[in-house]
Amino acid sequence: MIYNIPYIAVAALILIGLYAVVFKRNLIKMVIGITLIESGVNLFLITLGYREGSIAPIYTSSPGGIMALPVPQALTLTSIVIGVAVLALMLSLVIHIYRHYGTLDARKIGGNEE
Amino acid sequence: MNLPTFEFTPALVVAIPLLGAFLTPLVSRINDKLRNIFVIIIMGLTGFFVFLLAYDVLAKGIKVYVFGANTADTIQSLENGLPLLRILFEVDAMSVLMAGISVILGFVAVIYSWSFMKENTGLDKYYTLFLLMIAGMLGMELTGDMFNFFVFLEITSIASCALIAFWTNKGKAVDAAFKYIVISAIGALFILFAVALLYSQYNALNIAVLGSMIQYTFLDKIALILLIVALLMKAGIVPMHMWLPDAYSRAPSSVTVALIGATLASLYGVLRVCFTLYGNSLSNICNNLNINVHSMLGTLLILLAIITIILGVIMALRQINFKRLIAFAAIAELGYMFLGIGTGLTVLGNPELAVYGMTALKGGIFHIINDALDVGLLFLVAGAIYYATRENSLNRMGGLARNLKYTTVFFLIGLLAVSGMPPMNGFASKILIYESTYQLSPILSIIAILCSILLLAVFVKVFYSAFMGPAQPKFKDVKEVPKSMLIAMGIITCIIIFIGLFPQFVINTVVTPAAEALVNFGGEKGFYINEIIESFTLGGV
């Protein structure tokens, strides 16, 4: 059970994030939802590469013993960097939307008429 | 003809636009005209390398390029029992076909932008993002690594989202861009999650290696669903299409044309996932359930495709905004592609119908080329009309054929092509789809033909209301659009007419190799996987 806690956290983060994106009307809350999903996925990747009692995967003067798998960590780093770029872009779009419409309520923005 | 073959072509195809993107702001400081020429040269150079690569791949089969090491060293380290950690570009006929489409659309859009975007400021950023988007698309289409696919997908999404919102003075454009980035971000995270699920089981990220080991466990099926849903969402299939009309209609026309390429790159992802990643056992019976995974997936795709076609056409009928109307027609056209691909997936496992499955798949792949060109041409025409008249609404247009002679001819050709009229290229691919889906179920091809006729009706209405009718006094001073826009439209028109006149030539040279590259022919694990595994002799990865 104790080993499953990270996976439960992953599921919880992703579900809460999806809930926020689907049901919340405030654009900032939607952005937060996406960030939560991203954290969930990143946590999942990190958890995959970790073994109990393992050390950082640095070969130079290593004390021996098991090492954590470095590939998922590299993937997570890349994913975090991309996530920051997406987050910045989304927030800048939210700023522009607020300037145009004066509100962040998704129901009052847009519409089909030109 | 013996062209020299370069080992580095797959890397250069992505590296040139990427490098060009970051050089553009520097060149832009010297002179605006010089920057435009520079961007066109970069796109031309990319196109040249894509065609060099295409020639190479079509003549000699799959080309593999290893990043950060030469091929001999990689094989050596694999023989020593180290896992395959390098990023690989694996280019087969299908990848090359998609890369060719992206590069043609990008090249045309860059030429078109010269005049179309001239009055805007911040063009250095526009061109930087544009080249980044092209690099992302090409990367998605050439890569052989799942995580790398995710990275290029994100590059494409970020760049194209910023480009959709390029006219930030219009609230609608920003709104459309926000929708697009939300869809893209969630889709990309789903893909990353699926990649993590696959990695956790097989300790590999390479598509070919994963495809050769896939077991159809419970987790694999979850990963399959996540991948397919995310990629279909990005491709704009109907239940998840709401971002597409907004994004297509509110972006500048030159961006819309490149966006078509980005959408089709996601479609390529669907093909790769269905046929290569999960293509290990095309006729494999799924564990204890007596259902074939592929025919199930294919049936689902056919269902979605039919809904997409019907809804796209019906929504197109009632639009009055020119670009929005074309966007809905583009959704309908996506449905035709998925109809062909879905039929292929469904029946390829069935030996009696496998021939029709192959025809359907060829039709679907051929339609990818034709749709990109036809819809791209229509968007360029819509952009030209907007440029000349500053009008978007069909209700306020009329009599424009008097002022815009060449544009009218281009629109007429695009109209005939997109609704599948015989002399044009749209017909050549749609007939393949009709005749093969008819074998599966006549009702499918009846719906497809009916919707194609409705599409013709839609565009005849547009043609009449925009170009025909009495001359309107407010359009008295409207002049023909600048040369660069005419050249851009002319290039696409020439390709459309060429494909329309010689469809068999195109089918034989590019479409058939692409379809065969996707499908399991002979061999146990399929063409793509076999070739790559052979070229690396992966023992115990």
Q: Is residue A8 part of a domain?
A: yes
- B393 contacts in A (CB within 8 Å)? 114
Determine the distance in angstroms separating the CA of A39 from the nearest CA of chain B, rounded to an integer.
10
Burial of residue B227 (CB within 10 Å: 0-12, 13-18, 19+) is buried
* Position B281 pLDDT exceeds 70: no
Which of B186, B198, B209 to mutate against chain A (most A CBs within 10 Å)? B186
Determine the distance in angstroms separating the CA of B393 from the nearest CA of chain A, rounded to an integer.
8
* Position B522 pLDDT exceeds 70: no
Q: Helix or strand or coil: residue B320? A: coil
Name, in order, each residue with C-beta under 8 angstroms of B311's C-beta and a sequence gap of 6 or more. B238, B241, B331, B332
Name, in order, each residue with C-beta under 8 angstroms of B117's C-beta and a sequence gap of 6 or more. B123, B126, B252, B254
Name, in order, each residue with C-beta under 8 angstroms of B336's C-beta and a sequence gap of 6 or more. B305, B309, B364, B367, B371, B429, B430, B433, B448
pTM of the model: 0.92
* Position B539 pLDDT exceeds 50: no
Please count the structural domains in chain A: 1
Nearest CB among B175, B196, B200 relative to A41 is that of B196
User: Count of A–B CB contacts within 8 Å?
Assistant: 84
What is the structure's pLDDT at B269? 93
Question: Within the 11-70 window of chain B, which residues sit less than 8 Å (CB to CB) from chain A?
Answer: none
What is the structure's pLDDT at B538? 43
Alpha carbons within 13 A on the beta-carbon side of A10: 18
Burial of residue B436 (CB within 10 Å: 0-12, 13-18, 19+) is buried
Read off the amino acid at residue B75. I
Give the residue carrying structure tokens 């699920």: B197
User: Which tokens sit at A95?
Assistant: 């700023």
Q: Is residue A16 part of a domain?
A: yes
Helix (H) or strand (E) holding B88: strand B88-91
B412-430 residue pLDDT tens: 999 999 988 888 888 989 9
A81-108 residue pLDDT tens: 999 999 999 999 999 999 988 888 888 8
Question: Within the 110-149 window of chain B, which residues sit less than 8 Å (CB to CB) from chain A?
Answer: 147
What is the structure's pLDDT at B26? 93
Identify the band that residue B371 occupies on the pLDDT scale cut at 50, 70 and 90: very high
Q: Helix or strand or coil: residue B286? A: coil
Give the residue carrying structure tokens 């190799």: B513
- Report the CATH number that the domain containing residue A12 is assigned in CATH: 1.10.287.3510
In which domain, by residue range, is A15 found? 2-55+67-107
Nearest to B481 by CA among B472, B491, B489: B489
B156-178 residue pLDDT tens: 999 999 999 998 888 889 999 99
A40-83 residue pLDDT tens: 999 999 988 888 788 887 777 777 778 888 888 899 999 999 99
What is the structure's pLDDT at A16? 96
Contact B117, B126 (CB under 8 A): yes
Q: Is residue A112 part of a domain?
A: no
Q: Is residue A43 part of a domain?
A: yes
* Position B84 pLDDT exceeds 80: no
* CA–CA distances in Å: residue A8 to residues A15, A44, B219, B298, B395: 11, 10, 16, 33, 56
Determine the distance in angstroms separating the CA of A74 from the nearest CA of chain B, rounded to an integer.
11
Q: Across the interface, do A44 and B162 touch by the CB < 8 Å criterion?
A: no
* Average predicted confidence (pLDDT) for chain B: 86
- A37 contacts in B (CB within 8 Å)? 186, 189
For chain B, how far is it from start to end, CA to CA, in angstroms?
40
Lowest mean pLDDT among B49-58, B128-137, B238-247, B518-527: B518-527
Determine the distance in angstroms separating the CA of B481 from the nearest CA of chain A, rounded to an integer.
24
